[in-house]
Amino acid sequence: MFSPSSPPAGLLEKVFQYIDLHQDEFVQTLKEWVAVESDSVQPLPHLRQEVFRMMALAAEQLRCLGASVDSVDSGFQQLPDGQTLPIPPIILAELGNDPKKPTVCFYGHLDVQPARREDGWLTDPYTLTEVDGKLYGRGATDNKGPVLAWINAVSTFRALEEDLPVNIKFIIEGMEEAGSVALEELVRKEKDRFFSSVDYIIISDNLWLTQRKPALTYGTRGNSYFRVEVKCRDQDFHSGTFGGILHEPMADLVALLGSLVDSSGHILIPGIYDQVAPLTEEERKLYKAIDLDLEEYRNSSRVERFLFDTKEEILMHLWRYPSLSIHGIEGAFDEPGAKTVIPGQVIGKFSIRLVPHMNTSVVEKQVKQHLEHVFSKRNSSNQMAVSMMLGLQPWIANIKDNQYLAAKRAIKTVFGTEPDMIRDGSTIPIAKIFQDSIQKSVMMLPLGAVDDGEHSQKEKINRWNYIEGSKLFAAFFLEMAKLR
């Protein structure tokens, strides 16, 4: 529950005024962070050293705020080609341990996707460049900007010599873009130590649904990724010599992939919808309240027509219903020109985005049974094998948790509007890891606009989002302090 007590008169105004006056300094720090080529994806020693440098820079910044900082050694990463690379340390930092205050833990990452000027960037991706209030650079929105916005909020209270309204902890990694190597193990190991006093966990690693209206994210879809292999022999065939007398692997595979989903997007695997949580009237109202211009959304997506015509149907099929996507075929001829080859072996790849209360092991069994049944009806002499390469569960939070109420109030204070309550159609495993391992409330509080272009050649964060986001985190601390 919220207590009626308020922060000292004028404190919020002082905090906001300080952030406004020092925004150029905050942008300069972001520029320094973006300049570090902390690419964790490409397994190159010099890039891995850059990630280490980025983690050291952040650890030093946190120490300057007075935080106690532990840079946890994470060992080595074994790569498929046999080489090993050191895993960057995971930062565990804390400020304050007042038992009367709630303890809020912020998760962020400081590694980035690869970026090169010649890939289509208009400016050097590692030189933060401001154009019309937009701060372009790799990592600006994913995730260096939001991490710094949290630090900006903390540093503002420190600069004003005001007591921090809450106890704050940080967990910051440098391998998120490469699958968060070593993170889950550390979270489980620290459950009864570092995380024992944590009441709430905040993640700011996703985007708003629109360009100007803030959002709170309370759910993500999971992902089951499959490969289905059909094999006749190791070598390819000449279609003039063997065409017409074989069960061709490609024909079998196309039939298998074509049996998974129909033209309206409905998944054809028996039983796949059985575990999907029923739609409640309360949930239906959430979709109705969301501010989404369908025409603008369609135009910005450069799509002629979606499968559904209403805002509510589109959002529900993006967030609360499963979807199946076919990603590609390995082993097929895919180059320009004409090559009369019959592939001897092909591998199809597809995935299913999972929603509450679907379970990866149940889905795996349903997919295998379905494909085996379809394949058996073809009476093919080829060999068929199905395997699940990846199984990540969906995550959903209780939007009535105290921190969601506090975040709503903070958003109203800073932006003058209620947030869109949204889910994310993609998969962010860390939310589920925290929820299952620590069993505390997890919330996603995004700062970036929908057009921030994370992972793209035009990644940016708006100066407005970055600075107002810093205010939002400060206001959120004060709202959390009102919790009994």
Tokens of 20: 């406004």
Q: Is 177 annotated as a binding residue?
A: yes
The reply to whether 223-276+321-392 shares the fold of 11-220+394-482 is no
Q: Is 109 annotated as a binding residue?
A: yes
Tally of CB atoms within 10 A around 60: 10
Which residues, in sequence order, are bridge partners of residue 218? Answer: none
418 is catalytic: no
Residue with tokens 């930092």: 93
Question: What pLDDT score was predicted for residue 97?
Answer: 95
Question: What pLDDT score was predicted for residue 415?
Answer: 97
How would you classify the pairing of strands 341-342 and 441-444? unpaired
Question: What pLDDT score was predicted for residue 18?
Answer: 98
Assess whether pLDDT exceeds 90 at residue 4. no
Average pLDDT taken over every residue of the chain = 95
Residue with tokens 């033209």: 263
Q: Which of 94, 173, 176, 468 is catalytic?
A: 176
Assess whether pLDDT exceeds 60 at residue 481. yes
176 is catalytic: yes
Please enumerate in sequence order all residues whose Cβ is within 8 A of that of 17, keeping only pairs 6 or more positions apart, or say none.
none
Which residues, in sequence order, are bridge partners of residue 92? Answer: 70, 171
Residue with tokens 């993006």: 318
User: To 5 degrees, how large is the angle CA 154–CA 155–CA 160?
Assistant: 105
Q: Which of 39, 50, 94, 111 is catalytic?
A: 111
Domain limits of the chain? 11-220+394-482, 223-276+321-392
Pick the closest to residue 222 from 349, 364, 322, 110 (CA basis): 322
Per residue in 351-409, pLDDT (tens digit) is 999 999 999 999 999 999 999 999 999 999 999 999 999 999 999 999 999 999 999 99
Rounded to the nearest angstrom, the gap between the alpha carbon of residue 453 and the centroid of all alpha carbons in its chain is: 13
User: CA 31 → CA 51, 138, 315, 465, distances in Å?
Assistant: 16, 10, 35, 15
Q: Which CATH class is domain 11-220+394-482?
A: alpha beta
Which residues, in sequence order, are bridge partners of residue 348? Answer: 228, 329
Residue 102 φ then ψ, to 5°: -70, 155
Assess whether pLDDT exceeds 90 at residue 484. no
Q: Is 46 annotated as a binding residue?
A: no
Question: What pLDDT score was predicted for residue 8?
Answer: 55
Per residue in 149-189, pLDDT (tens digit) is 999 999 999 999 999 999 999 999 999 999 898 999 999 99
- Percent of the chain residues topping a pLDDT of 70: 98
- Cβ proximity of 483 and 164 under 8 Å: no
- Cβ proximity of 364 and 227 under 8 Å: no
Q: Please compute the mean of the pLDDT values over residues 123-145 and round it to a whole number.
A: 98
Assess whether pLDDT exceeds 90 at residue 428. no
pLDDT band at 3 (very low <50, low <70, confident <90, very high): very low
Gap between the Cα atoms of 169 and 167, Å rounded: 7
Per residue in 107-120, pLDDT (tens digit) is 999 999 999 999 99
Tally of CB atoms within 10 A around 354: 26
Q: Is 317 annotated as a binding residue?
A: no
Assess whether pLDDT exceeds 70 at residue 2. no
Tokens of 85: 């690379």
Per residue in 327-365, pLDDT (tens digit) is 999 999 999 999 999 999 999 999 999 999 999 999 999
Tokens of 313: 């149907």
User: CA 437 → CA 255, 308, 387, 430, distances in Å?
Assistant: 41, 37, 27, 10
Pick the closest to residue 371 from 225, 230, 223, 221 (CA basis): 230
Per residue in 5-35, pLDDT (tens digit) is 445 559 999 999 999 999 999 999 999 999 9
Tokens of 23: 């925004």
Q: Is 142 annotated as a binding residue?
A: yes
- Read off the pTM: 0.89
pLDDT band at 80 (very low <50, low <70, confident <90, very high): confident
Per residue in 216-275, pLDDT (tens digit) is 999 999 999 999 999 999 999 999 999 999 999 999 999 999 999 999 999 999 999 999
**CATH placement of domain 223-276+321-392:** 3.30.70.360
